[in-house]
Amino acid sequence: MHRSNRSIDVPRVSPLLAWLAAGAIILAGCSGAASPSPAASAAASAAPSVAAGSPSPVASASAACPIPPCDQPIVIGVSQALTGDKSDPGTAIEHGYQVWVKEINAAGGLLGRQVVLKEYDNQSLADTAVSQIERLVTVDKVDLLFGPFSSALTIPTSAIAEKYKYAFIEGAGGAPGVFQRQFHYTFFVQPATAEHQADPFVTYILSLPAAQRPKTAAYPQQDDPFVKATEDGAQATLEAAGIKTVYHAVYPPTQTDFASIAAAVKASGADIVLGGTIFGDAVAQVQAYASINYQPKAIYFTSGPSTTGPFEQALGSKVNGIFTGDGWIQSSKATGNAQFVADYHAMFPKEVDIPGEAAEGYSVGQVLLAAVTATQSLDNTKIADWLHANPVQTVQGPIGWDSIGRPNGSYLLEQYQSGKLYVVAPANDPNKGADPVYPKPNW
């Protein structure tokens, strides 16, 4: 997962995909062909470091390729966390982008043109991500942008996209700080915003019979805007319901030793733990709790468990009983998901368990495809305007947005049982595969 700045050239591969034929748009009113934006025209001819997969021999406009130059690729710029503390989920999102690009090129491209990613590794650093997005727009002159992993990087980089009026479709920036500035061009591609991620867990805990319901809770959390929003919302609701907070602490993203935090949480006597985590800190918390035989009745992590393969490899059977909130499960019955899973496994055969972040990255591509197809345009303002008015079918289900790019759905409650991640609530969700287990098994 240690990568340097480079471009990714995605080759042309297999036949037209079923989900594309079915259409990713569920309410897409198609407009006529539009002229390319100045930025789009310049980008297609000003990206010498990006090679086209299989360029079309036709450079002029046609019904199949309404926006020339048709022998040049459409370039999508990405600043991603491929190294540093966010590299596991950042790499997972990048894999989702790659699968989508491979599919779209196999299907004939976007508006008849091949698609390539122009990607830089921001090393999980916000300042680096900002400078890279600025470069992608002003120097590389890409046609379109995809967002990075995490709210901490999305908040500053979305300001650059807004300044240059680029649609900023992103799968991992759902903290309130992303939306408080009321940007027009940012769209978060998950079912709901951060402050609602733990809602299904809180609802489940409060549904327990009074005799079983926990009386105390602990909130160890990383200093991260997404985590803070999730934890604050859950803590307020649980406290209002009478579940007392006995531990609350914020630690830096660089924290790796959780021995003292685990000892303090155990000493607090907390019945349940809501860990505000990204990935490595979730793994480290479990290992620290297990090492001192602290056995909470339930434990929830904001991020980490959904990065399934690496999480399971790091913790083995200790994953059992851990809850998280997400919008996707590998066995999802959502339209197009079976094709996504098959294509992901074909592209990354060693990854049996697909991370949820990969589905979020793939969904970003689905959303872009829907908007570009509907508007027949690479004009970012037309794309943004269309997304504000039209929900899109993704592998996470249909997602629509309000005037500032907030999705309007709800998360699923998921739990590891027998080494697999299952949807355990809500009860009427078509992807529900098991009932919640409480209290959790000992690790």
The share of the chain scoring above pLDDT 70, in percent, equals 87
How far apart are the C-alpha atoms of 90 and 76, rounded to whole Å? 17
Q: Where are the alpha helices (DSSP H) in 321-379?
A: 337-347, 356-375
Strands (E), 171-215: 186-188
Q: How far is CA 27 from CA 1, 19, 79, 396, in A?
A: 38, 15, 30, 16
How far apart are the C-alpha atoms of 389 and 387, rounded to whole Å? 5
What is the total residue count of the chain? 443
Q: Are 6 and 116 in contact (CB under 8 A)?
A: no
Count Cβ atoms within 10 A of the Cβ of residue 49 and give its class: 0-12 exposed, 13-18 middle, 19 or more buried.
exposed
State pLDDT tens for residues 278-333: 999 999 999 999 999 999 999 999 999 999 999 999 999 999 999 999 999 999 99
How far apart are the C-alpha atoms of 167 and 321, rounded to whole Å? 39
The share of the chain scoring above pLDDT 90, in percent, equals 85
How far apart are the C-alpha atoms of 290 and 323, rounded to whole Å? 16
Instruction: Report the pLDDT averaged over residues 361-378.
Output: 98
**pLDDT at site 233:** 93
The answer on pLDDT for 71 being more than 60 is: yes
Average pLDDT over all residues of the chain: 88
Angle of CA points 263, 265, 268, to nearest 5°: 110
How far apart are the C-alpha atoms of 178 and 194, rounded to whole Å? 10
**pLDDT at site 60:** 75
Q: Are 90 and 358 in contact (CB under 8 A)?
A: no
Residue 66 gets which letter from DSSP?
-
DSSP-derived 3-state class of residue 169: strand
Residue 7 or 409, more confident: 409
pLDDT band at residue 64 under the 50/70/90 scheme: confident
How far apart are the C-alpha atoms of 179 and 411, rounded to whole Å? 18
Instruction: Report the pLDDT averaged over residues 194-219.
Output: 97
**pLDDT at site 37:** 33
**pLDDT at site 395:** 97
Strands (E), 276-373: 298-301, 322-326
**pLDDT at site 21:** 35
